[in-house]
A and B are shown apart, each in its own frame.
Chain A
Amino acid sequence: MNESNKISDEGKYYTRLNLHERIQHHITWSTFFILAITGFMVELPEEMLTVFGQYKENIFFLRGITHRIAAVIMILNLIYQALYLSLTKPGRSLFFDMVPGFKDAKDFLRNMLYYLRISNRKPLFDRFNYKEKMEYWTGWIGNIIITFTGFFLWFEQYFPKFFLDVSILVHTMEAILASSAIMVWHFYEVHLKPGKFPMSRIWLDGKISAHELEEEHPLQYQRIQQAERVSVNTDL
């Protein structure tokens, strides 16, 4: 980009997550955290739970109730997200920007070449890169799977045995998959990555610095710059 045409970026921030999206994210991470803890308590070796001593029976009982309450909140949040994506303009914009395309496959290959130092050119990502799209959509798929299997297990008397046999396995394994993906990939991308530690502030105030946007989402940055230049020229 021509430096002379560039509008000064110093101290400039753009909105990456609006209030709706931040609320959805806060509900998601908090309920996910509770669900993971109360869910994996059932899977942990019994010996590890003896630390609760005389309270273990009550804790086990409360575990089940807490898991169900958190699950219901998470499901309501899914409905909230679905309504937001379909009924609001920023929601629809997010949805269409999230749709994966052929460019994402090319970006993935280019990124691998960059990682392996075969190429020194980073791929130019748009608003959402292939990693974010993959995380987002696997999150939706995982949520739907875990919601249905969770309901089968919750109301076991109404469903055929085959659903229950398989649901027990699927619910647990989907939880393991989701938790490991969050802990390894998402935590790295937003907390542990060089330059991000201890955390990106986007999840708190929704703001991304112009510099960060240019680095990570250059195509979106260029579009914004262009729009701003048009706006400045029009004003003049």
Chain B
Amino acid sequence: MINIDEVVKCVCLNAEGKQRTLMLFMMFTLILCTASESVAVDEENCLFCHQYRGLSYIQKTGNQGKFRLLYVTEDLYLNSPHGNIKCSDCHTNIDKFPHGKPVKVNCLIVCHMDEPSSGLPFSHQKVGEYLSQSVHSRFDKDGNLKEYPDDYPECVTCHTDPLYRPLAFLKKAKPGLKEKTITRCSICHEEKDFLRKFYKHFTSRMQKLRTPLEVIEMCGTCHENNEMMKRHNMPNVGKSYMETYHGKAVFFNDESAAECTDCHVMPGESVHAIRSMNDPKSASYKDNIYKTCSDIDCHPDAEMNLAGYKAHVILSSDRNPVEFYVCVFFVLLTLGSFIPVMIFTVLDMARNAFPNFALFNKRGKK
């Protein structure tokens, strides 16, 4: 727990005279204005400092600086799935002020809370196992670090709190899932804080955490990064996806259109287990595609014919020669007919509009 006296002492040591008085006055004003609400839900009192929007620093990384924002939005944090976990459960070496050099958060550590079905300490280790088998793992099959390991995602690359969406888009369709439902729970369960946390916990897992468009944008942070994709000999799949009907529908906020995880994760598997399309266990492996498409929500009639279907074709002579050369043929056909037609039209217009025009006057003729 952070001691307020220590904070005050620390601030005052770096100020003198009138400045010190002014700073102390400002600090106590802020404490009076904000601390009462924060202390009730933040027993370690981390928000005493981290509630301020400007709290940040520049971390030196090589020759460049990286902007690190230390501000915590209290409301978003408390309503996130981690809202009932103490800060120090994850930020394990923060036990004094000034904090000292922070240790990077390890999402796979055992939490100071029990998993209710087994009663055992909770951990995200299982998710880590899925991720380690996926194409997004930093290690290859033999356990060696892959090339450009920093390009591979870690938990926070995709997961940014809050991870849930209120069930607003379902409200019209299923009134039973309205946020108002919580009032039914309160008939028996009196503790409001528990109700809120339980509701958030439950509803956040009832649906996809992000809208399809948000998923596309999230995956696109890497898969639409041309430099990074070039390093891994991959095309910009985000661009080719957005050219498809799925991409267009997702852009129009269609919740039912397929986004990345719908087609690249086997039905029933964790989204963390995305595999390479060349892996026979992958949902996008050529023999599995029809099963993925025929998922009951999408194209239930899809059959073996769809095996090998490329949902978003990358037009290159190496990857898809047939599609590439069909495209080249049509581009040449279009230009080959369009340009002559334009020339004929201009010539026709010129001849009709100026029938007697001649570049050179013929001798003897007026």
Contact = CB atoms under 8 A, between A and B. Distances in A.
A157 B299 contact: yes
Contacts of A112: 347
A160 B304 CA distance: 8
20 contacts: A42-B245, A56-B252, A56-B253, A57-B253, A57-B254, A60-B249, A116-B347, A161-B308, A161-B310, A164-B309, A165-B309, A165-B313, A173-B327, A173-B330, A177-B334, A180-B334, A180-B338, A185-B344, A188-B345, A188-B349
Contacts of B331: 173
A174 B301 contact: no
B334 to A, nearest CB: 5
A160 B309 CA distance: 8
A169 B327 contact: yes
Interface stretch (B35-43, B50-58, B116-124, B318-326): B318-326
A88 B11 CA distance: 99
Contact of B323 (A57, A166, A184, A193): A166
Interface stretch (B178-186, B195-203, B350-358): B350-358
Nearest to A172: B330
A32 to B, nearest CB: 17
Contacts of A174: 330
Nearest to B320: A165
| Among all A-B residue pairs, the 5 with the closest Cβ atoms | A161-B309, A173-B330, A115-B347, A157-B301, A194-B352
A96 interface: no
Interface string A221-236: 0000000000000000
B242 interface: yes
B307 A161 contact: yes
Contacts of B322: 162, 165-166
Contacts of B95: none
Interface string A1-16: 0000000000000000
Interface in A172-208: 173-174, 176-177, 180-181, 184-185, 188, 193-195
B330 A177 contact: yes
Contacts of B289: 161
Chain B contact surface mostly: helix
A168 B305 contact: no
A200 B58 CA distance: 71
Nearest to B250: A46
Given A114-B351, A177-B334, A60 B303 contact: no
Given A156-B306, A176-B334, A188-B345, 9 more contacts: A56-B253, A115-B348, A157-B306, A161-B307, A166-B322, A177-B333, A181-B341, A184-B342, A194-B349
Interface in A19-57: 42, 46, 49, 56-57
A8 to B, nearest CB: 26
B351 A117 contact: yes
A102 interface: no
A160 B337 CA distance: 31
B323 A158 contact: no
Contact of A193 (B299, B338, B348): B348
Contacts of A185: 341, 344-345
Contacts of B307: 161
B248 interface: yes
Contacts of A49: 251-252
B308 A170 contact: no
